[in-house]
Chain A
Amino acid sequence: MSPETAPDELSLPGVPRSTSADGHDLVFPDRAAYHDVVSAHREAGFEMLAALTAVDYLGHPGRPLPAGVVPERFELVVMLLSMAQVRRVRIRVQVPEDAAEVSSLWDLYRGAEAMEREAYDMYGISFVGHPDLTRILMPEDWEGHPLRKDFGVGRVPVQFKHAPGPR
């Protein structure tokens, strides 16, 4: 078992960090350093990958990011959990639309497999090194990535309601 190193003492030079509203540490590596940063966290005692998801910030007015982080359209959010230290950390990676590829965490955490497939299915972000990157929730011949902001809800007009749109 690795020694209990808190991430502040982790030597992660040049990686911006901050604290979120709910008291979790936030780390903002860029795409190139992402896999190494997660690996360093794993060595430091974050044994479990709690959740992995993505957010499409198209149309968002502007979100607070620390200095040195360039906002992109997609953001990949990884929630790690350390059971020994009873703490969580959130790793947020900016993913540009035209190069929506990040490295997969499958070699570090086997549990990332289904979560990355879902992020691929819903957002179109590819994970390099994933053993089986296929759609998981939508049918195989579905076109488009539903959770992107430019993919409509697909509402069917209903009789006696006005023009379709957000309620």
Chain B
Amino acid sequence: MTGPDTTSPFVKETFEGSQELASRHDTSPEELEREVGSVLRLPESHGVEVSDLDVERPDDETMIINMGPQHPSTHGVLRLMMELDGETVLRTKPVIGYLHTGMEKTAEELTYQQGSTNVTRMDYLSPLNNELVFSLATEKLLGVELPPRAIWIRMLLSELQRMSSHLMWLATNGMDVGSTTMMIFGFRERELVLGFFEKTTGLRMNHNFIRPGGTAADLPDGWEDDVEVILDNVTARLSDYDALLTGQPIFNERMEGVGSLSAEEAIALSATGPILRSTGVAWDLRRTMPYLAYEEVDFDVIIGTYGDNFDRYAIRINEIRESVRILWQVLDKMPSGDYRVQDKKVTPPPRARIDESMEALIHHFKIFTEGFKVPEGEVYVAIESPRGELGCYLVSNGSSKPFRMHIRAPSFVNLQSLPVMMHGGLVADAVATISSVDPVMGEVDR
């Protein structure tokens, strides 16, 4: 059997050929070896023989089912094909590409000033982080140094964004596991943060605020009070979440021991972020390869022990607490000054100046039509997004548009750990495991 019954008109259109999961007889031994996932560079004594994988199991004992791409789990258009033996998941194959937008191709058509509008829509749960990594890469190529206030404003927004992304994750994870109350709670908190973003950047999502050279505008007056309101509310309500979920026996049964991953597997599969930290590896780019001003703030890197779903939940809810801690420090230490670099060739002039100065008008015109030119070179910058290492590889040919922009999306790489996590588990745990990987399909497919 090479595929489903293709005589029906509906099935023919959605059959993705060799991208789908094939039955065992059509699968190569290496692919079956991947099923177990632990055949890494371990010594031979730990290796798994292909014969152990029960290749001889007849086809009618296992069933290949399809989950998605339209399904009620709120993680977007991810299609999972699972091979089941009864209720046990044997092999899983994520089929992605249902949200492929050609953003890397679009980036070659947009100037660097416009680039953040494109990049921001990749990881749509933390758009400011995408803009941040793109702007950092552009600034490295340009060779400009940012004023301190721009750096701290970016850090403020990045941590608020991390908080809102983790709150969203708590909401959707809670709902996937069955707790609709958590969904309502998470969105309620998130509205506070989004209200602040709307006041500062003008939009609730996809802000296009962090641009090469700094930020688009300064923080509004009274921002400290707004941030304090958010921090007080979130701190108080985090204890509500603990009461609702952390100690609750049903939640513990569903999450503990489910979807576990070992540290060697996580490193081999290039998983980063909460997935890697849940296995016990203390790797957080904010601490190990600091960017912005993360060396000047005090925070802990949360790591887990078992690499299961519960560890990832605990890491994320505690990362909210750490973000709150960082934000209190940012409130204290925010410097005054310019919110963007004062290089006229890069930063557009303030609107009022355009009426007064011819030079300002010309600069504005050049920056917004042709764009500023970036010297030739290539650079790779990585930051810690709520999902892991978000990297931007930028190649410039000296013109005003990127020659090549590649975003190393954490969810794209983290999805590879999903089959390993789900192997041997029950199909009812599949939703909880997918949710704990926290994929955002916008950045998976780009």
Listed in ascending order, the chain A residues whose CB lies under 8 Å from chain B are 20-22, 24, 47-51, 53, 55-56, 60-61, 63-64, 77, 79, 83, 86, 88, 90, 108-115, 118, 122, 131-132, 134-141, 146-147, 153-154, 166-167
Contacts and interface: CB of A to CB of B under 8 A. Distances in A.
Contacts of B15: 140
B397 A139 contact: no
Interface in B389-405: 389, 391, 393, 395, 397-398, 401, 403-404
A114 B415 contact: yes
Nearest to A47: B267
Nearest to A148: B105
A111 B275 CA distance: 14
B270 A111 contact: yes
Given A137-B100, A167-B110, A113 B416 contact: yes
A131 to B, nearest CB: 4
Contact of B18 (A22, A60, A88, A140): A140
Contacts of B28: 131
Contacts of B398: 61
Interface of B: 15-19, 28, 30-31, 34, 37, 40-41, 96-97, 100, 102, 104-106, 109-110, 114, 140-141, 265, 267-272, 281, 283, 288-289, 376-382, 389, 391, 393, 395, 397-398, 401, 403-404, 406, 408, 412-413, 415-416, 445-446
13 contacts: A21-B378, A22-B380, A61-B397, A111-B269, A111-B270, A112-B270, A114-B413, A131-B30, A134-B19, A136-B19, A139-B97, A153-B109, A166-B109
Contact of A136 (B96, B377, B401, B413): B96
Given A51-B393, A60-B397, A140-B19, A114 B412 contact: yes
Given A56-B404, A115-B413, A21 B141 contact: yes
A140 B288 contact: no
Contact of A139 (B16, B31, B272, B415): B16
Interface of A is mostly: loop
Nearest to A113: B416
Contact of B408 (A79, A110, A112, A113): A79
A109 B268 contact: yes
Contacts, number: 130
**3 shortest A-B CB distances, which residue pairs?**
A111-B270, A140-B17, A51-B408
Contacts of B376: 63-64
Contacts of B289: 86
Nearest to B95: A136
A22 B382 CA distance: 11
Contact of A111 (B19, B271, B380): B271
B408 A50 contact: yes
Contacts of A61: 397-398
Contact of A53 (B270, B377, B406): B406
A139 B397 CA distance: 31
A103 to B, nearest CB: 14
A111 B264 CA distance: 12
Nearest to B265: A110
B413 A111 contact: yes
A117 B398 CA distance: 30
A64 to B, nearest CB: 8
Contacts of A24: 380
Contacts of A50: 270, 382, 389, 391, 408
A65 to B, nearest CB: 11
A51 B381 contact: no
Given A114-B415, A115-B412, 4 more contacts: A111-B269, A131-B30, A132-B31, A136-B96
Contacts of B97: 135-139
B416 A110 contact: yes
A112 B110 CA distance: 29
Contact of B379 (A21, A137, A147): A21
A167 B401 CA distance: 10
B26 to A, nearest CB: 12
A147 to B, nearest CB: 6
B209 to A, nearest CB: 21
Nearest to B22: A132
B105 A83 contact: no
Contact of B269 (A88, A110, A140): A110
B379 A135 contact: no
B349 to A, nearest CB: 22
Nearest to B269: A111
Contacts of B446: 137
Given A135-B19, A146-B102, A153-B109, A48 B267 contact: yes
B418 to A, nearest CB: 11
B391 A110 contact: no
